[in-house]
């Protein structure tokens, strides 16, 4: 890359040789000019010019590293799926309970009654929200974590018709959390209807 003349220090410029009319002076001056040019352009110079040093030190190669595995990703959240319910006879005992005038399947886990979330969605929430994925988005916003069914519970729910035959996963939710979810879905529907009527 060409360096502008303004950045080159005066010491590195080759001085023009004086013009002389005599042949002896001409040969002497030409030899001295050659020596000056050779010394100024000699590759064995011990120190580089300031402009060259600045150009060479524009980048710090010690900051470049090819190993990025040890660099932590700060601020990146780590999500984990909850473990399924322990597969025990007590946890797998299913009962039909009444919820808002309808019968839904439920299990008692650690002394807490948990109802089948997809079945409750079909009975009470399907007409309020777009789909089950919307329900899970609302649960995350409400900071409600459903309980994951174990394999045996899923098999029982399929046999009862609480979930579709091809479904191999299901989640449970407490009555209290379901009421919170239901109220949220109802309020969202009312707000949507009110804004649409304006």
The residues, ordered by sequence, that sit 6+ positions from 20 with a Cβ below 8 Å of its Cβ are 26, 29
Pairwise CA distance, residues 110 & 156, whole Å: 19
Surface-to-core class of residue 71, CB atoms within 10 Å of its CB (0-12 exposed, 13-18 middle, 19+ buried) = exposed
User: In 92-114, which positions are buried (b, 16+ CB within 10 angstroms) versus exposed (e)?
Assistant: bebeeeebeeeebbbbebeeeeb
Superfamily of domain 91-196: Ski (3.10.260.20)
d(CA 196, CA 193) in angstroms, rounded, equals 5
CB 115 within 8 A of CB 173: yes
Q: Tell which wins on pLDDT, 150 or 56.
A: 150
What average pLDDT does the segment 104-126 reach? 96
pLDDT tens for residues 124-176? 999 998 888 999 999 999 999 999 999 999 999 999 999 999 999 999 999 99
Rounded Cα gap, residues 26 and 10, in angstroms: 26
Could you report the per-residue pLDDT of 8-34, keeping only the tens digit for each? Answer: 555 545 555 555 454 444 444 445 544
SS3 13: coil
pLDDT, residue 120, reads 96
DSSP 77: -
The DSSP symbol for 44 reads T
The per-residue pLDDT for 96 is 97
Residue 146: which of 186, 100, 189, 107 has the closest Cα?
107
Mean pLDDT of 91-101: 96
């Amino acid at each position: 890359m060409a360096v502008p003349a303004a950045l080159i220090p005066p010491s590195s410029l080759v001085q023009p040789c004086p013009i002389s009319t005599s042949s002896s002076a001409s040969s002497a001056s030409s030899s001295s000019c050659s020596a000056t040019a050779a010394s100024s352009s000699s590759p064995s110079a011990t120190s580089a010019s300031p402009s060259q040093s600045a150009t060479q030190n524009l980048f710090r190669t010690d900051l470049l590293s090819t190993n990025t595995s040890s660099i932590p990703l700060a601020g990146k959240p780590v999500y984990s799926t909850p473990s399924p319910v322990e597969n025990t006879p007590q946890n797998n005992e299913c009962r039909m309970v009444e919820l808002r005038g309808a019968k839904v399947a439920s299990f008692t886990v650690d002394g807490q009654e948990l109802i089948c979330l997809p079945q409750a969605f079909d009975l009470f929430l399907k007409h309020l929200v777009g789909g089950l994925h919307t329900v899970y988005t609302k649960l995350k916003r409400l900071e409600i974590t459903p309980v994951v069914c174990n394999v045996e519970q899923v098999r029982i729910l399929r046999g009862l018709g609480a979930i579709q035959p091809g479904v191999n996963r299901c989640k449970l939710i407490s009555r209290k959390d379901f009421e919170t979810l239901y109220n949220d879905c109802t309020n969202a529907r009312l707000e949507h209807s009110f804004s649409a009527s304006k």
